[in-house]
Structure 1
Amino acid sequence: MTPAALVTGAAGAIGQATAAALGAAGMRLALADTDETALDAAVAKLPPHLRERTTAHRLDVTDDASCAEVVAAAVSAHGTLSLLVNGAGVMVRDTALQTSVATFQRVLDVNLTGAYRMSRAAHAALAGDGGAIVSISSTHAFLAAKGSFAYGVSKAGLSHLTRLLALEWAEDGIRVNAVAPTVVPSAMTEDVLADPGYVNRKMAAIPLGAPIAPEHVAAAVAYLASPGAASTTGQILVLDGGESLA
């Protein structure tokens, strides 16, 4: 049976690139997002031969029932589930004192608890298929950055969630990994990338001197989902152009 991938946050830049890469690798696609209009537009951008084996699903990762329903719909549509990509995420650029408790909880609910909800919902299907989970973390998980307090905490949690699930679910045949890029051009980062001062400082901190393209993240996801990574689990693959070396 042709393997199938469920990608959350599929309407975003990383989600679209990931869908294209997984589709090119021969996988069927279940693409999910809260924004149905943007999701439909993303599906429409796929080549016709990939659209034929793609389904679109409205998903709210902060809702248990929505997560369970989308997993069930994906399995029903494609007959199997081989891969879950936790790509749904939100960014709030505030310091600790600027961040309200409600905002802090909201960011964690999407970025961290949302990935946990989806992983739990997909566990049975992935275990039956010897599947994999790849989550989109960030260099904010281990490099403290001013002005992204809730986001950084959520991504640090997501990285350790990856390790814990990898340990606990290895006996079920499920590999769990994450990709941690530095700044990626997307709707989430267009505000800071429009600031020449930020761009100059950021590029100076990245030895390779360039942002990480969505396609680079997608290629890393595709690798971690592939048979070539069959012995890899509990790992955070960092894509930062050497930023963390300094």
Structure 2
Amino acid sequence: MSTAEVLAAHGVQIVICDIQDDIGESVATEISTKTHNAKIQYQHVDVTVRSECNAVVEAAVRFLGGLDSLVHAAGHIHQDAAETIAESELDRMLDVNIKGTIFMNQAVFPYLKTRGGTILNFGSDFASEPLPLLAHYAASKGAVQSFTRAVAREWGKYGIRVNAVLPAVWTPMIDGYRENLEAESVAGHDVFMNDRVCLGEKFGDVEIDLVPVLAFLVSDASRWITGQSVPVNGGLSLVR
């Protein structure tokens, strides 16, 4: 919500896409109420279904009268030992995190090809420095970052910039992840953040720490940045 709210406040026209219709419609309504004259709409999409990705982008383009940027933040996280990951859970992880990324990037490509634009995919520091019990998550996010670099190379000739953001910020997905942990594991997660996050010893705030970076990366101010994995992580991991 914070990203859409800030962009709308700066006059950006937005279509919010999600699989949770009640939440998505509520967010769109709230932003419209707060931000006078905001052009904003909610559309349902399941990013694991290619036809839905194509349809929602087509509908968004009709509503907006064009397309400049995609911010693709859909993600799934699940904890399991590497040796016991079920095939169904592996399918779910890859379907949401990597296939969903590819489908949405492909869906916006025809509209960005003619006039350029920006794509922001969401990776993770855990792709390069994974935690125990998150091997399948790490693999899926590593794939997102590799895909981002590849399409940045391929699509740069069309003026399309593609970057991956690696956020270490507190979100409902992190809440859900922690809710499924034993008390000892929650304490271990807290210790991990205290030890590894240099700034503040905890995950960051979406609105204060992440949204300004997203706004920069979709703006012309970042016109010379593409193919990068941009950590917004308080020092959780250090890029060389």
Say whether the fold is shared (TM-score over 0.5).
yes
Please say if 1:57 is aligned against 2:73: no
Matched residue, 2:105: 119
Deviation at 1:77, TM superposition (A): 0.4
- Is contact 1:203-1:211 (8 Å) kept? no
The 3-state SS of whatever aligns with 2:74 is coil
Matched residue, 2:12: 27
Deviation at 1:156, TM superposition (A): 0.6
The 3-state SS of whatever aligns with 1:84 is strand
Please say if 1:46 is aligned against 2:31: yes
Matched residue, 1:228: 221
Matched residue, 2:191: 200
Matched residue, 1:151: 137
Amino acid aligned to 1:230:
R
Q: Matches of residues 101-180 of structure 1 in structure 2 within 5 Å?
A: 101-180=87-166
Number of aligned residues: 230
Which has the bigger relative contact order, CA under 8 A and spacing at least 6? 1
Cα deviations across residues 47-93 of structure 1 (Å, max 9, x unaligned)? Answer: 52367400110001111110010000000001011001111111111
Cα distance in 1 for partners of 2:36, 2:69 equals 17
Matched residue, 1:4: none
Amino acid aligned to 2:196:
A
Of 206-215 and 41-50, more deviation after overlay is shown by 41-50
Percent identity over the alignment is 30
Cα distance in 1 for partners of 2:96, 2:36 equals 28
- Is contact 1:29-1:53 (8 Å) kept? yes
CA RMSD in angstroms comes to 1.8
Cα distance in 1 for partners of 2:136, 2:106 equals 23
Cα distance in 2 for partners of 1:84, 1:51 equals 22
Cα distance in 1 for partners of 2:229, 2:192 equals 25
- Is contact 1:23-1:50 (8 Å) kept? no
Structure 1 residues 37, 217: CA separation in 2 closer, same or farther (over 3 Å shift)?
same
- Is contact 1:144-1:152 (8 Å) kept? yes
Of 89-98 and 160-169, more deviation after overlay is shown by 89-98
Structure 1 residues 21, 212: CA separation in 2 closer, same or farther (over 3 Å shift)?
same
Amino acid aligned to 1:213:
D
Please say if 1:214 is aligned against 2:200: no
In structure 1, stretches of 5+ residues that fail to align are: 1-15
Taking structure 1 as the reference length, what is the TM-score of the superposition? 0.88
